[in-house]
Structure 1
Amino acid sequence: MLLLNYIQSKTNLSETSIKNTVTLLNQDCTVPFISRYRKEATGNLDEVEIGAIVKYKEEFETLEKRKATILKALEEQDVLTDELKTKIEACQDSTTLEDLYLPYKKSRKTKAETARKNGLEPLAKIIMSQNANDIENIAVKYIKGEVTSTEDALEGARHIIAEWINERTDIRTSLRQQLERYAMISTKVVKTKKEDEEAQKFKDYFDWEESLNRIPSHRLLAILRAEKEGFIRVKIEIDNDRALERIDRKIIKSDNACADQIEIAITDAYKRLLFPSLSNEALQNAKEKADDEAINIFAKNLKQLLLGSPLGEKRVLAIDPGFRTGCKVVCLDEKGDLKHNETIYPHAPKNDQIGALKKLSTLTEAYQIEAIAIGNGTASRETEALVRKIRFKTDVQVFVVSEAGASIYSASKIAREEFPNYDVTVRGSVSIGRRLQDPLAELVKIDAKSIGVGQYQHDVDQNKLQKQLDVVVENCVNAVGVNINTASKSLLSYVSGIGPKLAENIVNYRSEKGAFSSRKDIKNVPRLGDKAFEQSAGFLRIKDGDNPLDDSAVHPESYAIVTKMAKDKGVSVKELIGNTSTLKKINLKKYITEEVGLLTLEDIVKELEKPGLDIREQAKVFTFNQNIKTIEDLREGQLLPGIVNNITAFGCFVDVGIKESGLIHVSNLSDSFVKDVNEHVHLHQQIIVKVLSVDLPRKRIQLKLHK
């Protein structure tokens, strides 16, 4: 099967788009580069569609590699027939492929293999022919060696027949279909663990039953986690009688002693070989489906988080709140560089509010602070209330910032390299401040799984999760663009065509030679060749450089086109940028060439209208209800301001300014059916919620989205 046909059958994209995209991928072009700068070739595919081509290309190549391995193994065993080879080469999925290979696998010692060594395969063939009536007399002839009785002979023959039945692709396919349609998953609590405190969070699954093909992702992952931790036992079941009857109909064609032996072998094959193997496979398939859904939810959340509203290049005072250990305070300049740090103790046990207020007021004035970022962890509300008492001489905005993952960053190698002379508490405060300035630039330094916007992220396939999250980070970084003169090594490593090693080379070159003044200078970075420059240049920005186009998403390969446009309009390139009236008068068809089409030209003009425009919204100040400090302050029917801090398949969690987040279940997001939570809310969205119920013992809050 051809690669293009395989991808087309999975995506329904045009053959030309697939072919050209595959060609670009084979030339080591990245997804962001292809989607942004090769629209004519792909037919204007976006990064999601190109990502699907990448996925199915890899899937096809893996399948073809496995086919080659199997064909080689079969040739070495001298069992490869033309018919078998044709079937293997025509295979379009790994399940069918492995079924075809199953009879020829060199497996551990089995009951069937032992029976063959005892010379019982001819007897098994006689039974399967279903022509013999006095099978016991025939079996007597096979009593020899380890076979000491008629029953031994018949049992050995049945083991061989059971293996044949297990290896039949039609029977395996039929049973798979039954499992797919009718399998039930059930759970029972392990009695000795029923009262364990840790087990109580899985109490709903102490006695549970549900259709395997309908169980939601989050529920299956919760059940499997509970089983892994030893609190429950999980069982997969179908109607065994119906399954056995279907196998009987496929095999038994007579009504004699042979049929009786075959029926016993069918039951053995089903209970010992087929059902255990295929029920495990069905559960694994359900797990993979649940993984994919959980990973997709995490990916959507991560994208929204990374593209969160930046405050921009403002001077920030950041506070990591605390009680006994005090509040760690840092002052950052517009670039996020640390200018000052110290600790204040406004809360118990020291309660030095007056000293803390004076210090914050002094620091704000001394470092010309424009905004204050307060971490949302322990003592956050108390610290926010304290800060809001200060009467600043200038307009200082106060923000509460998520601390999720800040502790991971502060203890990381990246943080130690950035701040070798400061401890983890100072690094954590810096991270909080920088997150306000630019969430994307700071969050890329943290392992995405630690950011706290996932759903059972530690229970899913970790390789698949990491791969998907890397794609999300790469797409977000390149969608926003990166200032090459200020970006960290971590941020640069996600730029199309760069990677960790070149990112390190760029930072080292910048340290030695100073700021880049033009995109052309990037080529001077050691080991950054033409291909890396082609892939990365359009996503790297240079502020106030030699060429105004260097601070835009216009690729250097298109500079000549812009120059010609400006010349034709009698203006300079600098005068053309932002000149909407002149840009709208340009006849784009005049500039179409074999390499550059209308899609690219429209992108160029759009970028020239608003060069370097940040696709993210500006950060907005948000204030919680100051009367709500703990869960005990909540009452049914209250309307409260809140911020969406996590999205799951079953709803979203909302921060209403206390330690516990409340849940808006999908049924409370809208009066109509909710197919996708993301269609109704997005991460860090500021919303109004209504309190439906408060469960104080379990510390659970049920909310409703107030329209």
Structure 2
Amino acid sequence: MMIKYIAQRSQIAETNIKSTIQLLNDDCTIPFISRYRKEATGNLDEVQIGDIVKYKEQFEALEKRKTAILKALEEQGVLTETLKQNIAAAQDLVVLEDLYLPYKKKRKTKAETARKHGLEPLAKIIMSQKAKDIASIANKYTNSDVPSADAALEGARHIIAEWINERADIRTSLRHQLERHAQIATKVIKTKKDEEKAQKFRDYFDWSESLNRIPSHRLLAILRAESEGFIRLKIEIDEIRALEQIDRRIIRSQNACADQIELAISDAYKRLLYPSLSKETLNKAKDKADEAAITVFAKNLKQLLLGSPLGEKRVLAIDPGFRTGCKVVCLDAQGALKHNETIYPHAPKNDSHGAIKKISSLAEAYKIEAIAIGNGTASRETEALIRKIQFKNDIQVFVVSEAGASIYSASKIARDEFPNYDVTVRGSVSIGRRLQDPLAELVKIDAKSIGVGQYQHDVDQTKLQKELDVVVENCVNTVGVNINTASIPLLSSVSGIGPKLAENIVNYRNVNGAFTSRSQIKKVPRLGGKAFEQAAGFLRIRDAKNPLDNSSVHPETYKLVEKMAKDEGISLQDLIGQKAKLQKIDLKKYYTDTVGLPTLQDIIKELEKPGLDVREQAKVFSFNQNIKTISDLHEGQLLPGIVNNITNFGCFVDVGIKESGLIHVSNLSDSFVKDVNEHVHLHQQIIVKVLEVDVARKRIQLKLIS
């Protein structure tokens, strides 16, 4: 059942799904399966395996709910064979809950009260639509709790309304109408419309749009405006059409019974069906918007984590500021803190001469190769100051995103790393390390605080965190980790490791010194064979005796590679890097029961350039030095910029001032843009044209030039 369920939704072959699930059940991770078990899965990639995991969890949740419902129905003594079959056949939770609705224990309702007053037989007579004088019949049901025929009819209608509400076919029909034709409409709350915080939502003060066509970012913005109390929203459909569709399903006569049923239908629609299903439809649209926003955030995060590293260079990092000064740190090539102090080149002290002298001496003393400047307050002024300095050596100057640095500097991770330094020093260290290796530093920060998403605090936080954890894990394992320099947070994201084993690895390293081989990793306390199998291929050991220890070749295939070298009549060391020789090897000779062409091709590719970082190296970038504030912008200007956020409706660009400009999808290309990521990527250096500047609202419209 599970295999078929997943296959129908993923379009993946059942045999591949079955093999993948077996690996997942054996506690294999997605990165390990996609990289080292290609023959078993039919060469599925991480996305496809992730889909299998997702649909597997959906199926398990559905089956768990079915079991709970069947148990409840059995306890009530209402489980028929037909109902049991319908529940077993249900393929989603909505259908399942509709089947269970008539039997679900309810709080006190109008229908329940009417039943207690003995009015259910009257409701059944009305529903038969055969009675000719229903008013007279209703008189027979009066009692101390039901004082009149009208009261009896009203109670009967409440019961009928509940029956109508519980009919799966009616709920499905209305649900389809809402999904296809519902409009989302908003109205501003007049007492709030002039508030400053409300202005960013003023586009939605009086708005109406098809709910199934509204872009995800717009729906999330409207929902935020509602939650902050600036607007009211409602879901609208053609009520007359909805009532007519219900009428056609129920009313079969033209008499007084039909009149009572029509009143019950109207009551059921307004009091039960519409409130419930319109909320359900909005929630479904919100889930869809969440999914789109999470997907965009995940793509941005992946691009950010795989951003260009400068590499192992000695860095001087500056966290700029005015009144409190600029915090300066010097880091060695591995990111260790060697020196810190504060300079005051800007107002109010204006000690630019002293600052230049100090930076020059520090650059010489610590043999600095690059300078990283945070992009926050006083960034442009600090960059201009640094570029005035005549260094003795060639020093590259970079402006680095500060997003999340303050979160890191106040975190337990930062306190543990630098217990004797304050948050300002820790923040500067983070800026410098981001230049050296963005991935290694950014994994220490809550992904939601890195500043590359939209509405990340409005979406389902559990789903968001789960997706971001997957992205971090995939990025870390794509790049690989130097086990002798990696921090606990970085090691924690390695396949099969986790926080506790990461801590054990670092403790072992601190006591015993650097690891000299992958096999030595097995000596780490509590790191068993399974964890080693999952992690070994992603952990790198530089200058190891066996050169394969600094590659993505898994230890389980070392003997196979050694055989290749032996067959070629050369040493393993001499085989590595010999592209021409490697490409001539007949891979069919090395097939085994578990190793086939996909794995062998990966091995050859890795041997050609072992340990190669898949990321591009960081490049120096300069903003237009004449642009300091939004007031310096004017229509028609061509400016250099850096893409700092990507959304479904376009991308935001840093042009060197506090406010980022927007390139709307319509201005990314002269042709239709299906996916923004096909035209730009995060941290890409581009040229933009200024189309419009709204200083009052701090909005900048741009066009992509190149």
- Which TM-score bucket, shorter chain as reference? over 0.9
The residue type equivalent to 2:29 in the other structure is: T
Matched, 1:615 2:639: no
- Matched residue, 2:408: 409
List aligned pairs for 1:546-557, cutoff 5 A. 546-557=545-556
List aligned pairs for 1:351-362, cutoff 5 A. 351-362=350-361
How many angstroms apart in 2 are the aligned matches of 1:64 and 1:509?
A: 44
- Matched residue, 1:112: 111
List aligned pairs for 1:673-692, cutoff 5 A. 673-692=672-691
Matched, 1:276 2:307: no
How many angstroms apart in 2 are the aligned matches of 1:283 and 1:15?
A: 34
1:635, CA displacement in angstroms? 1.6
List aligned pairs for 1:126-525, cutoff 5 A. 126-525=125-524
The 8 Å contact of residues 37 and 600 in structure 1, kept in 2 or not, is answered as yes
- Matched residue, 1:93: 92
RMSD: 0.6
How many angstroms apart in 2 are the aligned matches of 1:177 and 1:547?
A: 63
Given the two structures, how large is their TM-score scaled by the length of structure 1? 0.99
The residue type equivalent to 1:178 in the other structure is: Q
Q: Deviations along 1:460-509, whole A, 9 cap, x unmatched?
A: 00000000000000000000000001000000000000011111111111
Secondary structure (helix, strand or coil) at the match of 2:392 reads coil
How many angstroms apart in 1 are the aligned matches of 2:592 and 2:200?
A: 64
The residue type equivalent to 1:411 in the other structure is: A
How many angstroms apart in 1 are the aligned matches of 2:26 and 2:702?
A: 51
How many angstroms apart in 2 are the aligned matches of 1:608 and 1:543?
A: 15
- Matched residue, 2:43: 44
The residue type equivalent to 1:238 in the other structure is: I
Secondary structure (helix, strand or coil) at the match of 1:45 reads coil
How many angstroms apart in 2 are the aligned matches of 1:564 and 1:595?
A: 16
List aligned pairs for 1:22-61, cutoff 5 A. 22-61=21-60
1:581, CA displacement in angstroms? 2.1
Secondary structure (helix, strand or coil) at the match of 1:144 reads coil
How many angstroms apart in 2 are the aligned matches of 1:655 and 1:118?
A: 70
The residue type equivalent to 1:514 in the other structure is: G
How many angstroms apart in 2 are the aligned matches of 1:543 and 1:445?
A: 23
The residue type equivalent to 2:691 in the other structure is: L
How many angstroms apart in 2 are the aligned matches of 1:329 and 1:197?
A: 37
1:547, CA displacement in angstroms? 1.2
The residue type equivalent to 1:366 in the other structure is: A
Q: Deviations along 1:140-198, whole A, 9 cap, x unmatched?
A: 11112311111111111111100000000000000001001110000001111111111
- Matched residue, 2:700: 701
How many angstroms apart in 2 are the aligned matches of 1:693 and 1:157?
A: 64
Secondary structure (helix, strand or coil) at the match of 2:388 reads coil
How many angstroms apart in 2 are the aligned matches of 1:124 and 1:456?
A: 49
Matched, 1:8 2:16: no
The 8 Å contact of residues 185 and 209 in structure 1, kept in 2 or not, is answered as yes
Q: Deviations along 1:527-577, whole A, 9 cap, x unmatched?
A: 111110000000000011121100000000000100100111111111111
Structure 2: unaligned runs, 5 residues or longer: none
How many angstroms apart in 1 are the aligned matches of 2:259 and 2:351?
A: 89
The residue type equivalent to 2:204 in the other structure is: Y
1:627, CA displacement in angstroms? 1.1
1:304, CA displacement in angstroms? 0.3
The residue type equivalent to 1:675 in the other structure is: K
Secondary structure (helix, strand or coil) at the match of 2:191 reads helix
How many angstroms apart in 1 are the aligned matches of 2:634 and 2:447?
A: 35
How many angstroms apart in 2 are the aligned matches of 1:577 and 1:176?
A: 62
The residue type equivalent to 1:391 in the other structure is: Q
692-701 or 270-279, larger mean C-alpha shift = 692-701
The residue type equivalent to 2:211 in the other structure is: L
How many angstroms apart in 1 are the aligned matches of 2:65 and 2:269?
A: 28
How many angstroms apart in 2 are the aligned matches of 1:679 and 1:606?
A: 26
How many angstroms apart in 2 are the aligned matches of 1:633 and 1:270?
A: 58
How many angstroms apart in 1 are the aligned matches of 2:227 and 2:594?
A: 56
How many angstroms apart in 1 are the aligned matches of 2:110 and 2:313?
A: 74
How many angstroms apart in 2 are the aligned matches of 1:258 and 1:700?
A: 62
Secondary structure (helix, strand or coil) at the match of 1:373 reads strand
Structure 1: unaligned runs, 5 residues or longer: none
Secondary structure (helix, strand or coil) at the match of 1:595 reads coil
The residue type equivalent to 1:573 in the other structure is: L
The 8 Å contact of residues 118 and 145 in structure 1, kept in 2 or not, is answered as no
The residue type equivalent to 1:686 in the other structure is: Q
Secondary structure (helix, strand or coil) at the match of 2:643 reads strand
How many angstroms apart in 2 are the aligned matches of 1:6 and 1:686?
A: 44
1:675, CA displacement in angstroms? 1.1
The 8 Å contact of residues 493 and 503 in structure 1, kept in 2 or not, is answered as yes
Q: Deviations along 1:286-324, whole A, 9 cap, x unmatched?
A: 000000000000000000000000000000000000111
The residue type equivalent to 1:488 in the other structure is: S
The residue type equivalent to 1:338 in the other structure is: L
The residue type equivalent to 1:568 in the other structure is: D
How many angstroms apart in 1 are the aligned matches of 2:594 and 2:674?
A: 42
- Matched residue, 1:672: 671
1:111, CA displacement in angstroms? 0.5
The residue type equivalent to 1:464 in the other structure is: K
Q: Deviations along 1:660-699, whole A, 9 cap, x unmatched?
A: 1111111100111111111110000000000111111111
1:605, CA displacement in angstroms? 0.7
Q: Deviations along 1:376-398, whole A, 9 cap, x unmatched?
A: 00010111011111111111100
Secondary structure (helix, strand or coil) at the match of 1:192 reads coil
How many angstroms apart in 1 are the aligned matches of 2:675 and 2:494?
A: 30
- Matched residue, 2:586: 587
The 8 Å contact of residues 130 and 254 in structure 1, kept in 2 or not, is answered as yes
The 8 Å contact of residues 309 and 616 in structure 1, kept in 2 or not, is answered as yes
List aligned pairs for 1:647-666, cutoff 5 A. 647-666=646-665
How many angstroms apart in 1 are the aligned matches of 2:63 and 2:538?
A: 35
Q: Deviations along 1:247-267, whole A, 9 cap, x unmatched?
A: 000000011111011000000
Q: Deviations along 1:421-465, whole A, 9 cap, x unmatched?
A: 000000000000000000000000000000000010000000000
Q: How many residues align?
A: 706
How many angstroms apart in 2 are the aligned matches of 1:659 and 1:282?
A: 39
Q: Deviations along 1:78-115, whole A, 9 cap, x unmatched?
A: 11000000000111000000000000111100011111
The residue type equivalent to 1:206 in the other structure is: F
Given the two structures, how large is their TM-score scaled by the length of structure 2? 1.00
Q: Deviations along 1:366-417, whole A, 9 cap, x unmatched?
A: 0000000000000101110111111111111000000000000000000000
How many angstroms apart in 2 are the aligned matches of 1:145 and 1:289?
A: 52
